[in-house]
Amino acid sequence: MRQFNLRYHFSRRPYFLIPFTIVFLVFIFYLVIVTTPLNRQHATVIIEIKSGATLPQIAQQLYDLGIINNQRRFRLAAFLMRRDTKLRAGRFNLKRAANYYELIRTLADWENGAIKVVIPEGYTSRQIAQLLRARIGMPPERFLSLVKDKNVARSYGFDAPSLEGYLFPATYYFLEGDSPEYVIQRMVERFREVWTDSLQNLALKRGMTSHQVLTIASIVEGECMVDSERPIVASLYYNRLKRHKRLEADPTIQYIIPDSPRRLKREDLRIDSPYNTYRYAGLPPGPINNPGLKSIKAAINPARTKYLYMVSNGDSTHTFATNYEEFLIAKRRLQQIRRQLAEASQKEVTN
């Protein structure tokens, strides 16, 4: 019988296990480090990493905020994940990060957390609040209370009853959980960028404040869908102001009815509100929406016309008139078109 060398067998066996043992230990070490849990009392934490921040500085910031308990372990986890040089500057929502692995992934992939929010021109603060609730889950009540607060407007340096008109319509990138204060700050900062010194000087030359310009611009925004009409509509309202005629602007009524936008009724025109330009002369107390740059420029540089009236053509354009007789003719023409369309629609249903 062949003899089996037990001494040789047991002396050689550990050498075969060493590489596997090392790999296993490294794997366990990796799991222990990258799966270190975060402090979960921070259910929703939004942080901002400054441009140029190094890994140690980021670790220090996270430690100071109470998000991590061990800076060295965090830096080691970033190294093991090969993300130590790929952490980005920006704002991050750490709500879904439960451990170092998810935290580091979040800090390295900023685009995955940012939500694109497009604020259309002419949106009211009420519409913006609903949009923000749909896009980033922001409760609208707090947002609207801040926008409507005169003291908040003053804190931004605006002599205005609210921030309506100063929330500039643009494309923004917000995070789920962003505060109303932060969102408002971003929108107001964007307005300040657009409302340049040159525009301010042009307004002063017209003898108008920025608030008056924005109020006119908001009415123009509410009336116009065709850019070429904006300076004409602005001139029409300036002409009415000069002649001490009430503006009788439909968008100001839309602003005060709770279920807007809809077709206005006769009783709507009798609502007792300083924003009702059918009852009260002059400009309303402030903007009725948040106008875009084209409407702002039209309010500063209106066309030179003698128009005092306008009638919608039903196709996003208007017919303009210099006197009441022309206005009535245009209005009867529109009513005739509406009747013809209604009759044609009825025939289609019958057939």
pLDDT single digits (tens) 137-193: 999 999 999 999 999 999 999 999 999 999 999 999 999 889 999 999 999 999 999
Mean confidence (pLDDT) of the chain: 88
- Determine the pLDDT at residue 22: 61
pLDDT digits (tens, 9 = 90+) for 261-306: 898 999 999 999 999 999 999 999 999 999 999 999 999 999 999 9
Contacts for 51 with CB less than 8 Å, ≥ 6 apart: 89
- Determine the pLDDT at residue 88: 86
Contacts for 175 with CB less than 8 Å, ≥ 6 apart: 46, 91, 92, 93, 113, 114, 115, 136
Percent of the chain at pLDDT exceeding 70: 87
Sorting pLDDT into bands at 50, 70 and 90, what band is 327? very high
- Strand-pair partners of 93: 46
Cα–Cα dist 332/325, whole Å: 11
8: pLDDT strictly greater than 50: no
HSE on the CB side for 327, CA within 13 Å?
9
Cα–Cα dist 86/79, whole Å: 10
Dihedral of CA atoms 107, 109, 113, 114 in degrees, nearest 10, equals 110
Q: Which parts of 120-179 fold into alpha helices (H)?
A: 125-136, 140-147, 150-155
Looking at residue 171, the DSSP 8-state letter turns out to be E
Residue 216: name the closest of 184, 188, 240 by CA. Answer: 240
CB pairs under 8 A, 24+ apart, for 136-145?
A: 136/174, 136/175, 136/176, 136/177, 136/178, 137/176, 137/177, 138/178, 138/180, 138/183, 142/180, 143/180, 143/183, 143/184
- Strand-pair partners of 171: 118
The domain made up of 115-194 has a fold known as Dna Ligase; domain 1 (3.30.1490)
Contacts for 280 with CB less than 8 Å, ≥ 6 apart: 246, 274
- Determine the pLDDT at residue 1: 47
- Determine the pLDDT at residue 181: 96
Give mean pLDDT, residues 15-44: 65
Q: Of the segments 49-63, 72-86, 140-154, which one has the largest average pLDDT value?
A: 140-154
- Determine the pLDDT at residue 91: 87
101-59-72 Cα angle (round to 5):
80
Contacts for 217 with CB less than 8 Å, ≥ 6 apart: 165, 234, 287, 291, 295, 296, 298, 299
The architecture (CATH level 2) of 18-113 comes to: 2-Layer Sandwich (3.30)
Q: Give domain limits for the chain.
A: 18-113, 115-194, 202-305, 308-351
12: pLDDT strictly greater than 60: no
3-state secondary structure of 49: strand
Residue 236 exposed, middle or buried by CB count within 10 Å (0-12, 13-18, 19+): buried
Contacts for 135 with CB less than 8 Å, ≥ 6 apart: 115, 117, 174
Least confident of 84-88, 151-155, 250-254: 84-88
pTM for the complete prediction?
0.81
